A and B are shown apart, each in its own frame.
Chain A
């Protein structure tokens, strides 16, 4: 396998830095700058074919490729984890094409590309968070026409967004939208925060880091500059509520973090663990132990990750 890779020569020398050519990167940077200037506005851009399928994060990869420099340190997460297929594949892509350093530590990273989560650790002004976005248009499922949704954004006609929330309450008794929960950015544009759980919505508000969103298939880029107001939409009598978990993380004991459900056996036993794997490791290193902290499976996992 290694020989094959060498034979095809994708070791980086024959690609431009970060895969894209310089003109393309300039084009994407212009779109990013426009997006930053108009927070929440979807800027169309000429997304390129990338050497990975749509749905794998082609939009996020192009944004990262446009902003990454030789001195950057990259962290790549998928569903909060550093070691799932998508994260590993995209991290390796940038290692091959840029040679930049990578990390799994949130605080060490200067660029964090994410799919579905915002890290638990508070981000700082020196960091950029890049989201992979499948469908950038929050109004899409109620209004299929792009010409119409653009007009609705232009004229701030956002009543339709509440029709969706109304339907939730009418059908389920509460706002059942749990991810891709629509937000109002700086009192102007309604924005889809990509399929992050609504648990992460409050973190977007007044965040110190720059947030960039890239949708490759839909060819849109949008942004939230640092210290921007991001408000989750709701009704006066059904206010926005963050997802709550009944128990802490099973292996590090963390509370008020987003948990993943893990099935343990065929008898219906399950545990809830931090979706942010780096956060969980840090806590365990600091001596925190959850209910299942002494589980032998846990020990195996830690040694694997150490490698």
Chain B
């Protein structure tokens, strides 16, 4: 689990700095006063029940929603810390399609369902200027292999894929430009448990191999336990508890976290 250490030594500066980020929907709180740092190679999971503001927070970090107040700073590849909301739109969109990934709960939201698997994986490469068909296809084949999709499915539409394959394709599509930070919104939602287990295995391997920083939103504590180093527990738009995953899950301090941990079914 402590794969972060080697990265932390070489790069001990935070990749993402979130300070007092607040999103209000009129008078209602989406999320309020959230602050944390994310370090390179670190996997952070945000848990909480439905409506606790975890997806709102994720969207604020991934610039899919503009926060009402607070700031989100990101360290780019040149090592400069930049406020996401003070960047030009062109810079931000460039960042989103090269340095970041976003894995949606429903693969149909993150994939182009009408073009082939190969084109789905190749899109980001073409977006950053790849103009050699053979190379694009080789890279796509390689990535399909890494997410355990058979090579002969490269020209099939994602519509012909099962839910688990679509989700793996979505992951490949996001990782092809070697991003440094990936956001995931309930990546295992809607998959049956055996498929979930394989996906989690795959994700854990990829994250460790590539040294990715990941922010995952989930209500599934098993995902948190398996993948993450650190955890934020949210309720009513606030972070009520945070810390190392094993510590928080084994010894929850807040009564709500205790409830959450104790409500896991033990087969």
B126 touches A162 (CB 8 A): yes
The interface centre, meaning the residue of A164, A166, A167, A236 with most chain B CB atoms within 10 A of its CB, is: A166
CA distance in complex: A142, B113 (Å)? 10
Q: Contacts A155-B90, A155-B93, A170-B155 given: A163-B131 contact, CB under 8 Å?
A: no
Instruction: Give residues of chain B (106-132) contacting chain A, Cβ–Cβ below 8 Å.
Output: 112, 114-116, 118-119, 122-129, 131-132
What residues of B have a CB within 8 angstroms of the CB of A235 in the complex?
131-133
Is A157 an interface position by the 8 A CB rule? yes
Tell me, rounded to whole Å, the shortest Cβ–Cβ distance linking B136 to chain A: 7
Which single residue of chain A is at the shortest CB-CB distance from B133? A235
Is B209 an interface position by the 8 A CB rule? no
B133 touches A163 (CB 8 A): no
Cross-chain contact of B123 among A155, A159, A171 (Cβ < 8 A): A159
- In this complex, the interface size class of chain A, counting residues with CB under 8 Å from chain B, is 10 to 19
CA distance in complex: A83, B122 (Å)? 46
A163 touches B128 (CB 8 A): no
Is A160 an interface position by the 8 A CB rule? yes
A238 touches B126 (CB 8 A): no
Is B134 an interface position by the 8 A CB rule? yes
What residues of B have a CB within 8 angstroms of the CB of A160 in the complex?
123, 126-127
Interface residues of B: mostly helix, strand, loop or mixed?
A: helix
- In this complex, the interface size class of chain B, counting residues with CB under 8 Å from chain A, is 20 to 34
Is B89 an interface position by the 8 A CB rule? yes
Cross-chain contact of B93 among A157, A163, A164, A167 (Cβ < 8 A): A157
Q: Contacts A155-B89, A157-B127, A236-B132 given: A163-B112 contact, CB under 8 Å?
A: yes
Cross-chain contact of A237 among B90, B128, B132 (Cβ < 8 A): B132
A237 touches B119 (CB 8 A): no
Cross-chain contact of A166 among B114, B118, B124, B128 (Cβ < 8 A): B118
Q: Contacts A155-B89, A162-B126 given: A170-B131 contact, CB under 8 Å?
A: no
CA distance in complex: A166, B135 (Å)? 12
Tell me, rounded to whole Å, the shortest Cβ–Cβ distance linking A190 to chain B: 13
CA distance in complex: A164, B122 (Å)? 11
B122 touches A166 (CB 8 A): yes
Which single residue of chain A is at the shortest CB-CB distance from B134? A237
Instruction: Give residues of chain A (168-189) contacting chain B, Cβ–Cβ below 8 Å.
Output: 169-171
**Contact flags B238-253 to A (C-beta < 8 A → 1, else 0):** 0000000000000000
